Amino acid sequence: MNIIDELKWRGAINQMSDEESLHRLVAEKSVGLYCGVDPTGDSLHIGHLIPFMMLKRFQMAGHRAHIVIGGGTGSIGDPSGKKSERVLQSMEQVHHNEQKLTEQMERLFGKDNITIVNNYQWLSKIDLLSFLRDYGKLFNVNTMLGKEIIASRLEAGISFTEFTYQILQSIDFYHLFKENDVQLQIGGADQWGNITAGIDLIHKLNDSDKKAFALTIPLMLKADGTKFGKTAGGAIWLDPEKTTPYEFYQFWLNQDDRDVIKYLKYFTFLSRAEIDQLAEKVKIQPEKREAQRRLAEEVTAFVHGKEAVKQAEHISQALFSGDVRQLNAVEIEQGFKNMPTVEVENQAENIIEWLVQTNIEKSKRQAREDVTNGAISINGERIRDLEFTIDPAANFDGKFIIARRGKKKYFLARVKR
């Protein structure tokens, strides 16, 4: 299947320039294409991941993928999606972010058919007069004002610095077109104006018949109309230090039935036949959540590796069954990251006293009642003995005590060292 036809089936195309020519081009030869990201932070989140999944599909289809880490553009700030000016980061912070994003991209894309570059390499070499003479003269201000990415900011105001971002991104496309034979740029729906401005620049500076193309992906919304990728706890990051693999897995596992097939098309490399089978199971047996489980497995494996999937499933099973004794200290850190947590002294304590001291129970009377009724478990063991002694050194390398009240209410006690 032609890669353009596959992207259409996956619902991954918002706009495309000269569709007929692009469709023919990708069928005839290996095409150079790129997607860029600015180092405004030291990790991508899953919103960033969407266009890069499209880039990955081109790479897997044998095309020459290029990733631009925007060390140059990132130092001034993209006006896209912002109602006010970005706060400029120090160059030291920008370079730190560049390094972290490059490492993430290398893990996601491997080494085949991929080139990772930093636009600081060429943008930093352009002096002010050359910028104005060689490039600024080719951009009409009235045309730039008509681009949605700029027009959306006019009421609130936009600095000349962010106004010129469109020119810098256009230079990126021209540079890659000339030096790396890159003919296609892909990006989010909000990047259409910037990408087409790059095509216009290439047309003005290129003296051959070779064409340049633009392809953008749709803005992704959930079935309830809210923005994809945001949760009550904030963004879902690709960095395991910011969002643990367990949290990442759980995010995908908990997707709505109305969204899961769309996400399988966007975020996995499963075949059309496999996805159609899962869609049928959503209709017939939605309670089994097989599509969600497959989605969680595939995306977590892509971002964090297959071992992370096994670990996330192990944590999930332990928490669901209550048999937390099988968890190790690393898994506890992941699985209990957002659960109620207290610090306790490294000393043995009667269970009733301990439950009250940690505020798991409000009173000794309630603690005794819950223990007697079998509602309290310590480290995966149900306790009914009112004289039971909690020993911090007994489990989990002496680092944690896990308490459960009822079937679902977990508490984590960190033992002071």
169 labeled binding residue: yes
- Spatial distance between the Cα atoms of 178 and 176, rounded to a whole number of angstroms: 5
**How many other CB atoms are found less than 10 A from the CB of residue 156?**
10
Give yes or no: 175 in active site. Answer: no
230 labeled binding residue: yes
Name the active-site residue from 59, 104, 166, 169: 169
How far is the first Cα of the chain from the last one, in angstroms, to the nearest whole number?
Answer: 59
Name the active-site residue from 231, 317, 326, 347: 231
- Spatial distance between the Cα atoms of 189 and 51, rounded to a whole number of angstroms: 10
How far is CA 165 from its chain centroid?
A: 24
- Spatial distance between the Cα atoms of 236 and 246, rounded to a whole number of angstroms: 12
Give yes or no: 45 in active site. Answer: yes
- Which residues, 6+ apart, have CB-to-CB distance to 94 below 8 Å? 39, 71, 74, 75
**Cα angle, residue 227 at apex, residues 226 and 231 outer, rounded to 5°:** 90
Give yes or no: 10 in active site. Answer: no
How far is CA 201 from its chain centroid?
A: 31
Please tell me the total number of residues recorded for the chain in this structure: 417
- Spatial distance between the Cα atoms of 289 and 66, rounded to a whole number of angstroms: 36
Give yes or no: 230 in active site. Answer: yes
Give yes or no: 40 in active site. Answer: yes
Name the active-site residue from 10, 38, 42, 48: 48
337 labeled binding residue: no
* Contact assessment for residue 43 and residue 237, using Cβ atoms and an 8 Å cutoff: yes
Name the active-site residue from 23, 57, 86, 281: 86
Name the active-site residue from 8, 23, 57, 82: 82
311 labeled binding residue: no
CA 405 vs CA 328, 361, 373, 377: distances in Å: 21, 9, 11, 7
Name the active-site residue from 211, 230, 242, 405: 230
Give yes or no: 115 in active site. Answer: no
Name the active-site residue from 15, 18, 23, 45: 45
Please state the residue numbers annotated as binding site for ATP.
230
Please state the residue numbers annotated as binding site.
34, 165, 169, 230
Please state the residue numbers annotated as binding site for L-tyrosine.
34, 165, 169
- Catalytic residue numbers? 40, 45, 48, 82, 86, 169, 190, 227, 230-231
